[in-house]
Amino acid sequence: MFIIINRMEVPEEHRERFEEVFKTRAHAVDRRPGFISAQILRPTEGNTYIVMTRWESEDNFNEWVNSPEFIEGHRRRDEFKNAEGHFALKSKVERYEVFAE
């Protein structure tokens, strides 16, 4: 199993909309081969949300990133641009391989 963790810093002014976007997401990733599950974790302190997806393999994840479903699933990302037109949410993607359960 392969796990992607995306740590997203969400400024206070974007938190409500960020959560709404995820609650009403397109579920495009759910249609991809090798996709297992997704969880979106809200911080109890601070402003870093975690988007965690589980995949059968790293190849399945890489194929998702280069798919039409990825574009569909990220269509509303532009809502989070700042005044300069840059993405207002900081994001750090981490990749993990499950070696024991």
Question: By three-state DSSP, how is residue 38 classified?
Answer: strand
Q: Is residue 76 part of a domain?
A: yes
Segment 9-53, tens digit of pLDDT: 998 888 998 899 889 888 889 999 999 999 999 999 999 999 999
Q: Is residue 93 part of a domain?
A: yes
Please tell me the distance from the alpha carbon of residue 78 to that of residue 32, in angstroms, as a whole number: 23
Q: Is residue 47 part of a domain?
A: no
Please state the pTM of the whole predicted model: 0.84
pLDDT-derived band at 82, boundaries 50, 70, 90: low
Q: Is residue 29 a contact partner of residue 38, using CB atoms and an 8 Å limit? A: yes
CATH code of residue 70: 3.30.70.100
Q: Is the pLDDT of residue 84 over 70?
A: no
Q: Is residue 28 part of a domain?
A: yes
Residue 46 sits at the vertex; the CA angle it makes with 90 and 76, to the nearest 5 degrees, is 40
Largest CA distance in the chain: 45
Range of the domain at 92: 2-42+53-97
